[in-house]
Amino acid sequence: MTDAWIILRCSGQKTMALASSLAEDGYDVWTPIEVKTMRVPRMNARREVRQAMLPGFIFAKVGHLVDLLNLSNNPVKMRRGSGFRLPAHADFSVFHYHHGIPMVRDRDLNPLRRIARRRTAKQKAIPLKPRQMVRAKEGAGSFQGMVGTVEQSNELKTIVCFGGLFGKVELPTSYLNPNDVCALMSQRKAA
């Protein structure tokens, strides 16, 4: 299982910092992240906050198992090749279950990746012009690859008329590509 992942456990507050410091040191790690818009206390303002979806859990590629086991057993988790210039990694352990180390297949993390993608803030895009032809990109669900006409558009959402049974559909503007339609039309004319 070369594409498998092991699970690292740490303090919930240290999840993001540990994942980034391990990644900086060359470990292949991942933790699902969500972006939330929160109100700033005592102010009439909002800000985006990145936080771990599963505080305390980080996934690491199984190829790093021996290195991470050795590092987790050290009282001070020193950084690779940095000497004392960078602060040490936060305290963590490799997750054990029934006297073994469970491994998660890469494809079993796909549902978690989809949820993390959905929970991140929508990308702002350049608003599209009405009556412009667009093609839905990957991420547009069952509309992926379909060509439609723009009815209304802003930086976040666009109403597209696909015609037929679908009628008008509201999609994130970042999921639509007007440039792809020109290439598709020229391919059809050439055929």
CATH number of residue 59's parent domain: 3.30.70
Between β-strands 57-61 and 157-163, what pairing exists: parallel, antiparallel or unpaired? unpaired
Q: Is 164 helix (H, G, I), strand (E, B) or coil?
A: coil
Phi and psi of 107, rounded to 5°? -70, -20
| pLDDT for residue 26 | 85
Do 108 and 138 lie in a common domain? no
pLDDT of 165 strictly over 80: no
Structural domain harbouring 55: 5-119
Burial class (CB in 10 A: 0-12, 13-18, 19+), 130: exposed
Structure tokens at 143: 């509309």
pLDDT of 191 strictly over 70: no
pLDDT of 73 strictly over 80: yes
Do 86 and 138 lie in a common domain? no
| pLDDT for residue 180 | 63
The Cα 90–Cα 12 span in angstroms is 11
Query: Is 125 part of any domain?
Result: no
Query: Is 124 part of any domain?
Result: no
Q: Which of 86, 119, 152 is the last residue of a domain?
A: 119
* DSSP conformation class of 185: H
| pLDDT for residue 44 | 77
Q: Which of 72, 94, 119 is the last residue of a domain?
A: 119
User: What are the pLDDT digits (tens) for 14-60?
Assistant: 999 999 888 888 889 999 988 877 787 877 777 777 888 899 999 99
Do 138 and 113 lie in a common domain? no
Do 90 and 38 lie in a common domain? yes
pLDDT of 127 strictly over 90: no
| pLDDT for residue 122 | 61
Which residue in this structure is represented by tokens 């906050």?
Answer: 49
Rounded mean pLDDT of 2-6?
86
| CA 157 from centroid of its chain's CA atoms | 20
Looking at the structure of the chain, the number of domains it has is: 2
The Cα 133–Cα 176 span in angstroms is 10
CA angle 55, 59, 60 (to 5 degrees): 140
Rounded mean pLDDT of 63-85?
82
Which helix (H) or strand (E) segment holds residue 151: the answer is strand 147-153
pLDDT of 7 strictly over 90: yes
Which residue in this structure is represented by tokens 């909002």?
Answer: 46
| pLDDT for residue 83 | 58
| pLDDT for residue 37 | 76
pLDDT of 82 strictly over 80: no
More confident residue, 4 or 164: 4
- pLDDT band at 77; cut points 50, 70, 90: confident
Do 71 and 23 lie in a common domain? yes
pLDDT of 184 strictly over 70: no
Structure tokens at 185: 């039309």
Rounded mean pLDDT of 90-103?
91
- pLDDT band at 139; cut points 50, 70, 90: low
Which residue in this structure is represented by tokens 């290195």?
Answer: 67
Bridge partners for 171 per DSSP: 158
